[in-house]
Amino acid sequence: MVILSLRRYSREIEESLDRRQREFLSSEKGLRKPITEDIFEKRILISPEDLRVVNYRRSRPSAAFNPAALLRDNILYIYPRLIFDYYKYTSSIALFRVNVEELLNEVFEKPLETRIILWPRELWEFLGTEDPRATPVDGRIYMLYTGKGYHLEEGDELKYRDVLGFVELSPLNEVLRKGFFKIVQEGDVYLSDSQKDSAFLKIDSSKATMLTRLMVRNIKICWRACASIRDLEIYGDTLEPVLGLEDWEFKTGWSTNAIELSSNEYLVGWHAVVKSDLSYRNGFAIVNDQGELLAVSNYLLAPKGLEEEYGDRALVIFGDGLVKYGELLIWIGGISDYAIGVFVTELDRVLEKLKWVSR
């Protein structure tokens, strides 16, 4: 029944979403400029050679990148995406810990003991578990990630999709529950061909507001929505575009988890792929607890130099962890699909670069 409803109802919901995004894109231009002002002066690299995986026969990954990050009691919990093979690029998600002061002063002990906690076990994540974003909730962790895999449709046809995966982790980082989000509206069900790059905002019991990146008819922009965490359903009538494309960009997406600045202001990173060189460049936005855009910056973080620009996918700084530590803002992301970059600046410097949006 689920397979039939996905095929039967996807067109109606997709058409509704497409109308919304095209109306949005026709009116929301010129908020940003094609300017990069990189304000992250301190940059630390953690390479795959700096890790030692302790619960898998192969202890050295080929690549470790695009990590989620949480800070607890001065310990950074970093959840990197690991790859051991390049033939099919199949990813897992792991965990290592490091003292934040030792990391910032570059005196942490290597190798960092690393444990794989999530790997492909379902058809919908068969090709990889990728790009996590972590949110602490009552001692547990809610993690969003990209499930890259297949879906069995009518006639036993395997349909490739990126879905928005969800996993609930125990305080010991054990998997308690796992699944993926579907879009529902008036009893209908829809899966975008690609949904990823998402973050929770306000979580109230089993309900949440969130930021998400949909691909609707080959257009990839940033959206907001309300969702049921219990049922893993995003309410289609609440999906609204938030951050669109400028003329010099191919796509945009949310880059990081959201940091609560006040009772109704959240700071989040975003990225765009630039047409001139296909680089991933990053900026910041402030949204309210419903995901509505309050302020946005130009690009404030971009790859530079050999170690950041050259890798399996060149010219990338991507996601996924954002941490506030005192007056510092720490962006912990992947660099060119092979290593982890730790980028540090003062929070006030970021806030100074934001342009407030009038609606």
What is the domain partition of the chain in residue ranges? 2-356
Q: pLDDT band at 205, cuts 50/70/90?
A: confident
User: Model's pTM, two decimal places?
Assistant: 0.95
Whether residue 5 is predicted with pLDDT greater than 70 in this model: the reply is: no
Whether residue 339 is predicted with pLDDT greater than 90 in this model: the reply is: yes
- Note the pLDDT of residue 209: 98
Residue type at position 19: R
- Note the pLDDT of residue 7: 44
- Fold (topology level) of 2-356: Tachylectin-2; Chain A (2.115.10)
Q: Are 210 and 218 in contact (CB under 8 A)?
A: no
Burial of 215 (0-12, 13-18, 19+ CB in 10 A): middle
- Note the pLDDT of residue 3: 45
Mean of all residue pLDDT scores within the chain? 95
